[in-house]
């Protein structure tokens, strides 16, 4: 494995090795042309001789290239240097949801906010014809300001795939703990496949474990045949509406699930509105807990746990104690009788491929070093998100209180204007006007929402929004690191950019006025 810095494509300088596995290495790097930090994944070793690995590289690049959304990790470039394929991505600070779950169940309101933002990203992906097919905690990153990013589109279904299920098991598998029934038997997938993965992820956030546990074959059997216990049976403070949503997401047949991610997003918004009626409770995104014995957590860059297609080793994460061998044999016999020999062969192929790729994502184990679609680095100490919760909501894991560097709303960053109390049966959103929710109390979240609103209403060019989001991220980091002078400098850059966009016809006068008001709110916090 090469560990020395190198220049890729005459443009991308690798600087620090963040993680490596049998097939790829992930580096912190710099785009010398644009002078910005990036993450660079380089296919190496066995990956160069593995057609599936090359296909996943190409598939990830093509999938994310058609998506530009603040809840999806951006892919900037894809190329080959001296025979080594590389992928250049957005460098994201923050832990994965898997890392959060590894420390215990997530507060209910925070879990709802994470799921809601994930839905926002899925709406954009599905509208572009991209099905992720591997939604799980290890593929969701939470930034220090509470923004969720979906990463690793390495096995995504692209529009040109049509209904092709990709007979290669390694390209159709997800992760066994989060795999939909249709994936388990090699069936056709669509947007509802991602909703099943989201349901499993939401379940894991609420309870600390996925809905089904055991050895991989046993888990797949449960996905196909067994109903999941209600989250409230493991955690009494989960509201009934959230129980019902999880049950709908985990329906065995796609037709029994919500029709699309927008509908799920609306139901989550309604649940969040109910939870926020009892007052604000600050919840650290990265609780201060002692590291597991014998495992040192790096203070700096922290590669994602189990989030990528290239494992660091063949080791499998621990799971709950499986049923006795005799019970497992009976279940396997029942599975064979139910599905028939061909289905069992397909199922075993998926399990074997899953074992070979090391694609498990059990949240019971601490993070391990493994390359992923986006490099995740340790968040600044104790970032805090302000959420609201019902009086019965309790923290399900211990944490050490510490002063926060910034208090941020848990409200999703890209919610378009919509009632916050929409009923569960609300149909997918249309372009018709709808009442706006109350503005978020945090000006950083408010300005992100406002940028999204300007794009949605035609006031701001979509390609210009990405630059504005980046400038807001810079301001948020300044505030989180308690650097008011740098924050003022970055606020000035934001204002200058608004003027440039307005003069260039990419931002209307109305949009300019609104975003100026929003940045004024941010600046007022510094006075």
User: Which residues lie closer than 8 Å to 353 by C-beta, 6 or more apart?
Assistant: 169, 170, 173
Please, are residues 38 and 30 in contact by the beta-carbon 8 Å criterion?
Answer: yes
Q: Which of 338, 161, 160, 364 is nearest to 252 (CA)?
A: 338
pLDDT, tens digit, 9 for 90 and up, residues 297-340: 222 222 333 333 222 222 223 333 333 444 444 444 444 444 44
Q: What is the mean pLDDT of residues 481-503?
A: 92
Q: For residue 386, what is the DSSP state? A: E
pLDDT, tens digit, 9 for 90 and up, residues 94-121: 999 999 999 999 999 999 999 999 999 9
Band the pLDDT of 277: cuts 50, 70, 90: low
Count each helix (H run) and each strand (E run) in the chain, helices first.
Answer: 15, 13
Cβ count within 10 A of residue 482: 11
The whole-angstrom separation of Cα 122 and Cα 135 is: 10
Give Cα 125 to chain centroid, integer Å: 13
The whole-angstrom separation of Cα 319 and Cα 364 is: 7
- Residues with a catalytic annotation lie at 134
Cβ count within 10 A of residue 301: 19
- Higher confidence at residue 361 or residue 417? 361
Ranges 256-265, 430-439, 477-486, most confident: 256-265
CATH of 7-92, one of 3.40.800.20, 3.40.50.2000, 3.30.200.20, 2.40.70.10: 3.30.200.20
Residue 480 pLDDT more than 80? Answer: no
The whole-angstrom separation of Cα 202 and Cα 207 is: 9
Domain spanning 93-320+347-434 has what CATH number?
1.10.510.10
* pLDDT value for 190: 94
Binding residues for ATP: 41
* pLDDT value for 155: 74
* pLDDT value for 410: 36
With a threshold of 0.85, does the pTM exceed it?
Answer: no
């Amino acid at each position: 494995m090469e560990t020395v810095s190198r220049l890729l494509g005459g443009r991308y300088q690798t600087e620090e090795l963040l993680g490596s596995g049998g097939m790829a290495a992930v580096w912190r790097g710099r785009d010398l042309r644009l002078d910005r930090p990036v993450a660079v994944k380089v296919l190496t070793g066995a990956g160069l001789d593995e057609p599936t690995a090359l296909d996943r590289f190409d598939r990830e690049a093509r999938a994310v290239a058609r998506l530009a959304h603040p809840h999806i990790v951006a892919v900037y470039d894809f190329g080959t240097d001296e025979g080594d394929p590389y992928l250049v991505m957005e460098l994201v600070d923050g832990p994965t949801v898997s890392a959060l779950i590894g420390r215990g169940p997530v507060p209910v309101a925070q879990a709802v906010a994470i799921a809601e933002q994930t839905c926002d990203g899925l709406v954009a992906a599905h509208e572009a014809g991209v099905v992720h097919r591997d939604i799980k905690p290890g593929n969701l990153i939470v930034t220090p300001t509470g923004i969720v990013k979906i990463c690793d589109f390495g096995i995504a279904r692209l529009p040109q795939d049509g209904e092709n299920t990709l007979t290669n098991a390694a390209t159709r598998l997800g992760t066994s703990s989060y795999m939909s029934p249709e994936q388990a038997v090699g069936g056709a997938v669509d947007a509802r496949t991602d909703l099943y993965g989201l349901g499993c992820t939401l379940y894991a956030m609420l309870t600390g474990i996925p809905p089904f546990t055991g050895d991989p074959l046993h888990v797949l059997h449960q996905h196909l045949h067994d109903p999941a216990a209600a989250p409230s049976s493991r955690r009494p403070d989960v509201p009934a509406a959230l129980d019902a949503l999880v049950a709908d997401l985990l329906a065995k047949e796609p037709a029994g699930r919500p029709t699309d991610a927008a509908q799920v997003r609306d139901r989550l918004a309604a649940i969040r509105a109910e939870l926020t009626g009892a007052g604000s409770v600050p919840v650290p995104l990265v609780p201060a807990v002692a590291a597991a014995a014998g495992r040192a957590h790096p203070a700096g860059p922290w590669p994602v746990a189990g989030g990528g297609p290239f494992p660091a080793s063949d080791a499998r994460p621990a799971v709950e104690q499986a049923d006795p061998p005799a019970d497992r044999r009976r279940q396997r016999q029942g599975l064979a009788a139910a599905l028939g020999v061909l289905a069992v062969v397909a199922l075993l192929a998926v399990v074997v491929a899953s074992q070979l790729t090391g694609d498990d994502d059990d949240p019971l184990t601490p993070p391990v070093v493994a390359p992923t679609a986006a490099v995740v680095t340790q968040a600044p100490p104790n970032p805090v998100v302000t959420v609201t919760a019902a009086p019965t909501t309790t923290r399900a894991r211990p944490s050490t209180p510490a002063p926060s560097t910034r208090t941020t709303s848990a409200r999703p960053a890209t919610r378009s204007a919509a009632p916050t109390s929409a009923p569960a049966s609300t149909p997918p959103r249309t372009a018709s006007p709808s009442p706006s929710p109350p503005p978020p109390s945090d000006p950083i979240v408010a300005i992100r929402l406002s940028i999204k609103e300007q794009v949605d209403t035609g006031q701001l060019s979509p390609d210009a929004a990405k630059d504005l989001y980046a400038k807001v991220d810079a301001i948020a980091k300044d505030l989180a690191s308690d650097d008011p002078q740098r924050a003022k400098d970055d606020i000035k850059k934001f204002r200058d950019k608004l003027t440039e966009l307005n003069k260039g016809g990419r931002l209307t006068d109305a949009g300019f006025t609104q975003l100026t008001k929003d940045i004024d709110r941010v600046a007022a916090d510094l006075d």
